[in-house]
Structures are given as C-alpha cells and as structure tokens.
Amino acid sequence: MGYVKNKQAKTSQAGQAQLQPMLQRHFFGDKLAQSLRCATAARPSRQIHRPGSRTGKKTVTTRNIFPLGLICLFLFAGSASAQGYFEFLGSPRSVADKYSPKYGIRYNTQGYDEPDVNWTKKLKKMAKKGVPEYVVNELLQYPGGPDEIGKWIDNAFERVQSDFMKCGSLAGRARSVSPRSLYITIMPTAFLEPYYKVDVAGAYYPSSHQIKVVNIYYIWSGSNAGWLRHARDLINWEIGNFFATEVGVVPEPRPAGWPCTAKAK
C-alpha cells in the first residue's frame, strides 16, 4: 500500500466532520474493485517496476484511481484472500516499544525482532506451496539480528531525507523534518484497512504519523505469484510518504525524478 491521506467528510447523521483515510500502494487482492467502497474514476493502467525484494525487480500493473475526488495509486500485489492471512513468522507478541539507535524513531516489532516460529510446521506448509529456497532463506534469517529493524528505520530516514535535500526548493523543509513524530509498527501479515476494506502490506497515516508494514509476505498463488514483500523495503517507501506530506508535496504517484519533480499539494 502506501500513503493514507486523511480527508474530512461530514457524517450522514450527526453532520460532524470525521477523518477518513485515502489509501495508496501495496494492496493485496485481485477483487479490489468489488471491495473498494467509494466512488472511483480510473485512468488507463500502466506498467512500472517496484522492488519486491533484494533479489530484483518485478513488473506490476498500476492504476490511478480517484476515490472521492482524491488521487489514489494501487499496486495489485496478488490475492491475500486466496492464501489467507498466513503469518510467515508466527503470531505477534506484546512487547515494549523500542527506539531506533540514531534518530530515536519509536517503533514496535510485535516480537518480530526475534521471531518465535514453529519452523517444522511452517517449512512443511511452505514446501507444499512451492515457496522457493531464496524466500525460505529470507524467512529463516529475518530480521538478521534483534537490532536490525531499528537500523532499517534509521537507514530509510537518512536515505529519504538525503533524496529530498537534493531538491533545492525542498531542502530547507526536508532538513527540518523531525523523526521523533514517527511511530512504526511491524505487522504479522497482510492487514485489512478498515475504511476501504482492502488488504494492504503497508500504510502511512498522516494524522497520527504512524506507519504500519507487514514483516515479510510471499505470494504463492494467483496472477502475482512470486512477489515478496519485506518490511525493509516497505519502511523506506512509507517514510518517503511521511517526508512528502511533511514538506507539502504529493507523495504518490511518483514520476521520474521524484521527489524533486513532485507537485505541491
């Protein structure tokens, strides 16, 4: 998924304003059109490349959609419902928040900094589904150490801030963006975004400065079988959305040369 913009809308009964999310990117589900409960108008689809893992790039079809008059970009990343909300690294656990070592960004791993997994059972299931060896290796090594997730977060913040500071008109604002307002949660599997009722792999909520990303998720069936979603990559993308909203430019879609070519909101 990606950027989740909040817009104000009046309730039908009380007439009071409430915040509603606008979703972009990293969607799961081949039946998105049926599950999206809002008025839409679509532009022609186009092909882009987005990294799905360290192993390379995968071509996916994107479609620009305008729910309730606001731009939305969806990446059809396969069908989560076809294989269920499979938790590749086991169920979440209640753990204390942590802070990234360099920038002090608060995050909660839900225990996935040290996964507690019944690998005998999991590996049998994945072998049956034909999950390739490189994916199994990614799962077995995840995340690489108890402090790796904090390092991913710091590296992503630093990388994205550097990209924005290369844009003359955005440099000053990007330099002043505070990392301390961010809160990142690692999710156990694809998760339902309640407003639009679609399954997503990642989301950024500007009103709360919260990012949610799936830990790791492999699609083994459907038209997008072979996609690997990894928190390391998703965090980087969603922090890009965070910076865009903070400096006042459109976070998605991202034309060539983004963020320097991003339009002002």
DSSP 17-55: EEEEEE--S-EE-TTHHHH--S---BPPPEEEEEEEETT
**Domains of the chain: total:** 1
- If we measure between CA atoms, which residue out of 181, 183, 100, 103 comes closest to residue 148? 100
Which domain range does residue 6 map to?
2-247
| Residue 257 covered by a domain | no
pLDDT, residue 39, reads 23
pLDDT, residue 83, reads 64
Average of per-residue pLDDT across 199-206: 89
Using pLDDT thresholds of 50, 70 and 90, give the confidence band for residue 200.
confident
What's the chain's average pLDDT?
76
Q: Kindly report the pTM of this predicted structure.
A: 0.75
Average of per-residue pLDDT across 225-231: 90
Using pLDDT thresholds of 50, 70 and 90, give the confidence band for residue 3.
low
| Residue 252 covered by a domain | no
Residues 159-186 as b or e (16 or more Cβ within 10 Å = b): ebbebbbebeebeebbeebebeebbbbb
- If we measure between CA atoms, which residue out of 233, 240, 237, 232 comes closest to residue 109? 232
pLDDT, residue 175, reads 97
pLDDT, residue 136, reads 97
Using pLDDT thresholds of 50, 70 and 90, give the confidence band for residue 131.
very high
| Residue 82 covered by a domain | yes
Q: How many CB atoms lie within 10 A of CB 66?
A: 15
